[in-house]
Amino acid sequence: MKIAVVGATGMVGNIMLKVLAERNFPVTEIIPVASEKSVGKEITFKGNNFKVVGLQTAVEMTPDIAIFSAGGGTSLEWAPKFAAAGTTVIDNSSAWRMNPNHKLIVPEINANQLTAEDKIIANPNCSTIQMVLVMDPLHKKYGIKRTIVSTYQSTTGTGVKAVEQMENERNNTAGEMAYPYPIDKNCIPHCDVFEDNGYTKEEMKLVNEPKKILGDENLKITATAVRVPVVGGHSEALNIEFDNDFDLAEIRKVLHETDGITLQDNTDTNTYPMPLYAADKDDVFVGRIRRDESQPNTINMWVVTDNLRKGAATNAIQIAEYLVENNLVNNGKIQHA
């Protein structure tokens, strides 16, 4: 099986290669793809070196699956070219997420929607993934009426320049600014660009994407997204109002039994999720579960995950695994190794 990783030299691309190796994905040939300035450089995969190729060369190599993490513009231009060549594209940008002709997939929730005809599949926003993984089982059991989400998002969500800005500030070193303000010792309530309604693009992703993934356009969601001086992962404070009352022990049981979720919820031992300890892990960690005492049928919780792994690379590779396991790649000609 030939797998292309588009954006292989970037922060998420590196994690994609790492996760492919860790999960022993059935790769017979890896094709690292990047912009022209990176062509000819070498990346290491499972102890072997591979030369980076350009996008056109990669299309001509007809990979079975191409996993994209190279920005929306690149995806809009090149994903259809790969698809036309018979390649199944899994795209990590926002380019195709809300397109009604393309599916937005979190494997634990809606991978069963996928067919062999789906040649461009959208990977959700990192903050959306951890939120919907919690919302899905609770919505099925209690009916979600309204969700308020406040995010505390890692600098890694912006990219390597943002991490370098924070490190430079900590070391008193001058350097390029990824943000309009200092990030170290600061919180910036500004993730992505502002839209006409006063919300940022990131906040509107959190409003719109869950409706598509959970298949419920009636969900009411409002969001505030904040960038914080953290590297390990994204954190979210969720306030969820249900149609029906609930038992806290039952909520914990439902979440504990949900694939991809690890419950860390014991205030007696100060056990709760933190991004420092979520780093390099694939699960979504949930804790601080408590009733909202200001109104009925409402709960508060704290949700953390590594945004580069489950929030991006791992989710994309789990989609690829589902495609292979269910014979949905290359017209069913490839069997799972």
Query: Among residues 102, 126, 139, 191, which one is catalytic?
Result: 126
* Gap between the Cα atoms of 328 and 268, Å rounded: 47
pLDDT of 168 over the 80 cut: yes
Q: Is residue 211 part of a domain?
A: yes
Q: Is residue 293 part of a domain?
A: yes
Percent over 90 (pLDDT), the chain? 97
Residue 330: the pLDDT is 80
Q: Is residue 25 part of a domain?
A: yes
pLDDT of 118 over the 60 cut: yes
Q: Does residue 154 sit in the same domain as residue 88?
A: no
Q: Does residue 278 sit in the same domain as residue 299?
A: yes
Residue 169: the pLDDT is 98
pLDDT (average), residues 262-276? 98
CATH number of the domain encompassing residue 79: 3.40.50.720
Q: Does residue 138 sit in the same domain as residue 19?
A: no
Q: Does residue 204 sit in the same domain as residue 162?
A: yes
- Residue 234 annotated in active site: yes
Residue 333: the pLDDT is 53
pLDDT of 334 over the 60 cut: no
pLDDT (average), residues 14-41? 96
Q: Does residue 291 sit in the same domain as residue 202?
A: yes
Q: Does residue 292 sit in the same domain as residue 318?
A: no
Q: What is the SS3 string spanning the chain?
A: CEEEEECCCCHHHHHHHHHHHHCCCCCCEEEEECCHHHCCCEEEECCEEEECECHHHHHHCCCCEEEECCCHHHHHHHHHHHHHCCCEEEECCCCCCCCCCCCECCHHHHHHHCCCCCCEEECCCHHHHHHHHHHHHHHHHHCEEEEEEEEEECHHHCCHHHHHHHHHHHCCCCCCCCCCCCCCCCCECCCCCECCCCCEHHHHHHHHHHHHHHCCCCCEEEEEEEECCCCCCEEEEEEEEECCCCCHHHHHHHHHCCCCEEECCEHHHCECCCHHHHCCCCCEEEEEEEECCCCCCEEEEEEEECCCHHHHHHHHHHHHHHHHHCCCCHHHCCCCC
Q: Does residue 25 sit in the same domain as residue 135?
A: no
Q: Is residue 337 part of a domain?
A: no
Structural domain range at position 271 = 127-306
Query: Among residues 102, 139, 191, 234, which one is catalytic?
Result: 234
Nearest to 319, CA basis, from 29, 96, 118, 27: 118
Q: Is residue 230 part of a domain?
A: yes
Q: Does residue 295 sit in the same domain as residue 178?
A: yes
Q: Does residue 213 sit in the same domain as residue 277?
A: yes
Q: Does residue 49 sit in the same domain as residue 147?
A: no
Residue 141: the pLDDT is 97
Q: Is residue 105 part of a domain?
A: no
Q: Is residue 232 part of a domain?
A: yes
Q: Does residue 156 sit in the same domain as residue 171?
A: yes
Residue 163: the pLDDT is 97
Domains held by the chain: number: 2
| Mean model confidence pLDDT for the chain | 96
pLDDT (average), residues 125-140? 98
- Residue 102 annotated in active site: no
pLDDT of 25 over the 90 cut: yes
CATH number of the domain encompassing residue 285: 3.30.360.10
pLDDT of 337 over the 70 cut: no
pLDDT digits (tens, 9 = 90+) for 170-182: 999 999 999 999 9
Whole-model pTM above 0.85?
yes
Q: Is residue 115 part of a domain?
A: no
The edge-to-edge listing of strands for the beta sheet with 284-291 is 220-227, 144-153, 234-242, 298-305, 284-291, 261-263
Q: Does residue 276 sit in the same domain as residue 321?
A: no
